[in-house]
Amino acid sequence: MISAFLLSITQLSDRRILWLLLKTFLISLLLLAVFGVGAYFLLVWLFSVADWGGGGFAAAATAAIITILTAIFLFRVIAIFVLNIFSDDIVDAVEARHYPGRAELAKPPGYILGVKMGLASVGRAIGYNLLAAPLYILLLVTGIGAPLAFFAVNAILIGRDLQDMVAARHVDDPARIDENWRLSKLTRFGLGLTTALLLAVPFVNFLAPVLGAAMATHLIHKKRDAGPEESN
């Protein structure tokens, strides 16, 4: 895990990686901006229906607060969705540099599949976190229990997303990934947890999805180089 992390950091200077980082950042901001504008017009309509004077200012202020909270709590969902669209770019860059033989055999999944995988990731993230919401609430009294549970749930989800991004280039059906392209549950959890923790750090969180995808690429190929593991 440490080796994969260090290798991923060293490749951040790669022009292809830098361009992907910029695209991920700008598109994530664009999606947040579209969400904010949509929230504003919806609130303006709601306030006008309620005949609330000064609704324009109140709607703008409320929309801004909602957008900021969305950026704080849902940036992981947005960033992973965007990264899914361009995941082939970063995985290809890592494979071309470190695993050229496998890069030549890879089949780029394309943007349409990337969007489908991204939407599936969003659905899982929202669904599983909603299911875990009662647990988060119950653990609030412990002070640290709720954040630990949140990171644990999202580590599992992120680990799967990152694994699937890499495997999609090498399997015929990304929905049915065989054992050769799966990480062990413990490794997948460690990958997801590392990425989730990076996503929680301001400014570093913009690098986290790309670092996570690069780490997943190294971990999967190193596993294949070492031979099959006993269980997944």
Contacts of 57 by beta carbon, 8 Å cutoff, 6+ apart: none
Question: Tell me: the pLDDT tens digits for 80-97?
Answer: 777 777 777 888 889 988
The model carries a pTM of: 0.78
- The count of structural domains within the chain is 1
The answer to whether position 232 is within a domain reads: no
Report the candidate in 213, 220, 224 with the shortest Cα–Cα distance to residue 88. Answer: 213
Q: Please tell me the number of Cα atoms within 13 Å of 109 on its side-chain side.
A: 29
Place of tokens 């690069």: 214
Going from the C-alpha of 128 to that of each of 10, 14, 184, the distances in angstroms are 34, 35, 21
Question: Tell me: the pLDDT tens digits for 104-162?
Answer: 888 877 778 888 888 888 889 889 989 999 999 999 888 888 889 999 999 999 999 99
The answer to whether position 178 is within a domain reads: yes
The answer to whether position 143 is within a domain reads: yes
Measured CA to CA, the distance from residue 3 to residue 130 in angstroms comes to 34
Domain extent, residue 39, equals 2-225
Question: Tell me: the pLDDT tens digits for 11-55?
Answer: 888 888 888 888 878 888 888 888 888 888 888 888 777 666 556
Confidence of residue 229 (pLDDT cuts 50, 70, 90): very low
The answer to whether position 231 is within a domain reads: no
The answer to whether position 128 is within a domain reads: yes
The answer to whether position 230 is within a domain reads: no
